[in-house]
């Protein structure tokens, strides 16, 4: 119930009540919730208070509105613990779990094909025709859910066989272990 003597604003209390009803299953996905007028009567609060609570819950993805029909419970969003999420890895070589990545395409490109490569890799523009990169387009998944699509550019003069290693699905520690004279220490990511 709503406590009118609490320091917690009334709309926040109503939001908490609605969230509890959604989480307990009292309000089911795609089910219409009571109207603003009904909520006003049930909790003895003003319509602007109800409207603010509904608006914030809609903005936060708990509810959605259908014009002329009312307000409904939104489908539960898939959640992933940010500690387990490796979708925005700066490079395909940083992907710790190759089974969660699916390589969509690889190709060899010249530095001149993508202007930013020269600046990222500190290549003199007059030398850009000499430098080739492996471009790896891949998606990071959790089960059947795709969380991101990433592109990595890896200099072929330093990692000549990198495309075949990536396509083989090898983990980064297997790709780099003793095969190349250096191990990448830092990467740069652009979102």
What's the pLDDT score for residue 118?
75
Give the pLDDT of residue 177.
63
Q: Please indicate whether residue 114 or residue 11 has the higher confidence score (pLDDT).
A: 11
Closest by CA position to 150, among listed 185, 184, 102, 111? 102
Residue predicted with more confidence, 42 or 136: 42
Domain ranges of the chain: 10-73, 92-176
Residue 31 to residue 74: CA distance in whole angstroms: 8
Q: Taking 90 as the threshold, does the pLDDT of residue 85 lie above it?
A: no
The better pLDDT of the pair 137, 73 is held by: 73
* Rounded distance between C-alpha atoms, residue 49 and residue 46, angstroms: 5
For residues 58 and 52, what is the distance between their CA atoms, to the nearest angstrom?
10
Sorting pLDDT into bands at 50, 70 and 90, what band is 134? confident
The pLDDT value recorded for residue 172 is: 65
DSSP codes, 13-60:
HHHHHHHHHHHHTSS-TTPBPPPHHHHHHHHT--HHHHHHHHHHHHHT
pTM of this structure: 0.47
CATH architecture of the region 10-73: Orthogonal Bundle (1.10)
């Amino acid at each position: 119930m709503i406590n009118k003597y609490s320091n917690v604003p009334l709309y926040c209390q109503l939001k908490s009540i609605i969230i509890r009803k959604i989480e307990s299953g009292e309000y089911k996905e795609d089910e219409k919730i009571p109207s603003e007028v009904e909520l006003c009567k049930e909790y003895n609060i003003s319509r602007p208070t109800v409207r603010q609570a509904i608006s914030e819950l809609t903005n936060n993805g708990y509810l959605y509105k259908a014009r002329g029909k009312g307000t409904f419970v939104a489908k539960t969003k898939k959640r992933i613990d940010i500690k387990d999420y490796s979708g925005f890895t700066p490079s395909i070589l940083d992907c710790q779990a190759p089974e969660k990545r699916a390589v969509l395409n690889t190709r060899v490109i010249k530095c001149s094909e993508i202007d930013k490569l020269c600046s990222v890799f500190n290549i003199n523009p007059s030398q850009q025709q000499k430098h080739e990169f492996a471009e790896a387009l891949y998606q990071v998944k959790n089960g059947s859910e795709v969380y991101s699509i990433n592109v990595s550019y890896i200099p072929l003069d330093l990692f000549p066989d990198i495309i075949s290693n990536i396509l083989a699905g090898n983990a980064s520690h297997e790709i780099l272990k003793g095969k190349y004279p250096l191990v990448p220490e830092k990467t740069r990511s652009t979102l």
